[in-house]
Amino acid sequence: MITKRIIPCLDVRDGRVVKGVNFQGLRDVSSPVELAGAYSDAGADELVFYDITASAEGRRLFTDILTQAASRVFIPLTVGGGINTLDDFDRVLKCGADKVSVNSGAIRDPSLIGRAARRYGDQCVVISADVKRVNGVFTVFARGGRDNTGLEAVEWIRRCVGEGAGEVVLNSMDTDGVRGGFDLEMLRAVSEAVSVPVIASGGAGKIEDFVTLFKTLPRVDAGLAASVLHFGEVTVTDIKKALRDEGINVRL
């Protein structure tokens, strides 16, 4: 049976991984290429590279890094950040990405999803949504969580899947960075509404959070994590062993 996936997420700015990183056994913990290799060796099922650069120079550095990582790491790679056009898809796919995650770019132009899915296949297009409760309504935010779009999240994600998005990354802004566990209520609403894989993001702070996620919501397919892994407090293997001990199928 298919395994639940654990996916480290690397935020990259000006060629370096940002957010605190404290990975044992690495010479340069903020080198995205080294960190990607270490996560792959530690059993990560996929990797997400998120480009949070604003400058053209930083963007060029990002694609260089992606190329190097993709030459050394043989697990699926998803790239997000600054994806607004089909040319952006083309740019990162040529550098070795397998999937491309769209967020603000799809909000600005929802036809981007359908056009990308027709050219590269549904499996290549990931809709990533930053969602926060506003007056009790799950609401989609754009531009890294700065702009309230007024879009209701479940409706928006359902529409994106209808357009051809093959996977959903749901990032709860309400639990993100708090490290008090995933947003189970929000994840339940979205995972019950769509038939494509849903990846939980935002809130992982300890191993038990992953166990709770998959036990409570068997329809969620994967857990994304950044700081909990980068700080080196827990490893991908620790998480997977805990999941296996609870009878959840993982790749170990």
Partner 1 sequence: MVGIIDYGVGNLFSLRSSFACVGEACVVSGDPAVIRGADRLILPGVGAFADAAKKLRESGLFEVVLEEARAGKPLMGICLGMQLLFDRSFEYGEHRGLGLIPGQVVPIAEHIEPGLKIPHIGWNALTFVNPSGIYRGVAEGAHVYFVHSYHAAGCREYTTAVTEYGGTLTASVQRDNVIGCQFHPEKSGGVGLQILKNFANM
- Please identify every residue annotated as catalytic: 11, 130
Q: Give the nearer residue to partner 1 in terms of CB position, either 92 or 228.
A: 92
**Tally of CB atoms within 10 A around 244:** 15
Q: Does 90 bind partner 1 (CB under 8 A)?
A: no
Q: How far apart, in Å, are the Cα atoms of 188 and each of 15, 42, 72, 174?
A: 36, 29, 36, 15
- Taking the complex as a whole, the smallest distance from the CB of residue 174 to partner 1 amounts, in Å, to 26
Three-state secondary-structure class, residue 67: helix
- Taking the complex as a whole, the smallest distance from the CB of residue 77 to partner 1 amounts, in Å, to 9
Q: How far apart, in Å, are the Cα atoms of 214 and each of 49, 123, 207, 242, 252?
A: 24, 22, 12, 11, 17
**Tally of CB atoms within 10 A around 5:** 19
- Taking the complex as a whole, the smallest distance from the CB of residue 225 to partner 1 amounts, in Å, to 17
Q: Are 10 and 38 in contact (CB under 8 A)?
A: no
Site string for partner 1, 184-223 (x = CB under 8 A): -----------xxx-----------------------xx-
Q: Give the nearer residue to partner 1 in terms of CB position, either 135 or 195.
A: 195
- Site for partner 1, residues 124 to 143, rule: CB under 8 A: 124
Q: Which of 44, 5, 39, 6 is nearest to 21 (CA)?
A: 39
**Which residues would be at the binding site for partner 1 (CB under 8 A)?**
1-3, 5, 40, 45, 70-72, 74-76, 93-96, 98, 120-124, 166-167, 195-197, 221-222, 251
